[in-house]
């Protein structure tokens, strides 16, 4: 059996993460892969509580560093209780957002030095990194229009266009600097076209994973 793999899905608001996560699940199931699905921030009891604090409005105006450290606190718990045990047990992990989101939102959006994030990444994760990351990318206006049709905006969704442009830029620059792992999916196209790009990337990934 092939070694268990760690796959993450990324993108800014309204790019269709939820729908496409479901689609990726069908692709993995079709291959008979044993996998778990999880998310960040969250994925554990403690992580979900941190998520509430991070996304809710009770602590509007929290310091950027507090936000950064809470993301990594949730991640430390997630790695210890869910991600690493699953991978060690031969189960693939499909995670809705991971550390690329920290580089994009806290680094790009909030302006925290990427080097600081890298230090925390090394500290919290050791050598644990995703094997494949699919980045759903669309111009900010398209994503925000879709996101605005949903319920009351959370603490991140309330940010302005400039913030999301920086988030997008940081995501794209990470994808360009690590093209082996991080694949850009054009999420501005219609759903069938988006699914077909995802399916191509997953097939390619399977073909490399077999060896
Ligand atoms: P979502 O996953 O439901 O879209 O919402 C999670 C929000 O948290 C989203 O706005 C991105 C943000 N986030 C960060 O700012 N940094 C992180 O490291 C992660 C995982 C998420």
Q: Residue 147 pLDDT > 90, yes or no?
A: no
Q: Any alpha helices (H) in the chain, and if so which ranges?
A: 17-30, 45-55, 64-78, 84-88, 99-101, 114-125, 140-148, 161-177, 191-209
Q: Residue 197 pLDDT > 70, yes or no?
A: yes
CA of 69 to the centre of ligand 1 (A): 13
pLDDT of residue 190: 95
Q: Residue 132 pLDDT > 60, yes or no?
A: yes
Say which DSSP state 81 is in: I
Top pLDDT among 162 and 151 is at: 162
CA nearest neighbour of 9 among 32, 44, 45, 35: 35
Tell me whether the omega of the peptide bond preceding residue 41 falls within 30 degrees of 0, making it cis: yes
pTM: 0.97
Candidate from 10, 41, 107, 118 with most ligand 1 atoms within 8 A of CB, to mutate: 41
Q: Residue 210 pLDDT > 80, yes or no?
A: no
> 95-111 burial string, b = 16+ CB within 10 Å, else e?
bbbbbbbbbbbbbbbbe
CA of 210 to the centre of ligand 1 (A): 32
Residues 160-166: what's their mean pLDDT? 96
Closest C-alpha residue for ligand 1 atom 18: 102
Domain annotation for the chain: domains and CATH numbers: 6-210 (3.40.50.300)
pLDDT of residue 146: 78
pLDDT tens sequence across 43-82:
999 999 999 999 999 999 999 999 999 999 999 999 999 9
- pLDDT category of residue 2 using cuts at 50, 70 and 90: confident
Q: Exposed, middle or buried, 90 (CB in 10 Å: 0-12/13-18/19+)? A: exposed
């Amino acid at each position: 059996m092939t070694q268990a793999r760690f796959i993450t899905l990324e993108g800014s608001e309204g790019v269709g993460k939820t729908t496409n996560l479901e689609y990726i699940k069908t692709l993995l199931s079709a291959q008979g892969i044993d996998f778990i699905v999880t998310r960040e921030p969250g994925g554990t009891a403690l992580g979900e509580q941190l998520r509430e604090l991070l996304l809710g409005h009770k602590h509007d105006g929290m310091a950027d560093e507090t936000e950064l450290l809470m993301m990594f606190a949730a991640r430390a718990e997630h790695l210890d209780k869910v991600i690493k045990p699953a991978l060690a047990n031969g189960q693939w992990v499909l995670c809705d957002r991971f550390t690329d989101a920290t580089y994009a939102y806290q680094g790009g959006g909030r302006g925290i030095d990427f080097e600081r994030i890298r230090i925390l990444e090394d500290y919290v994760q050791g050598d644990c990194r995703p094997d494949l990351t699919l980045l759903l990318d669309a111009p900010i206006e398209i994503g925000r229009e879709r996101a605005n049709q949903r319920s009351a905006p959370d603490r991140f969704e309330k940010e302005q266009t400039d913030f999301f442009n920086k988030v997008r830029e940081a995501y794209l620059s990470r994808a360009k600097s690590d093209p082996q792992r991080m694949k850009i999916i054009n999420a501005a196209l219609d759903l069938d076209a988006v699914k077909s790009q995802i399916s191509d990337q997953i097939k390619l990934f399977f073909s490399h994973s077999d060896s």
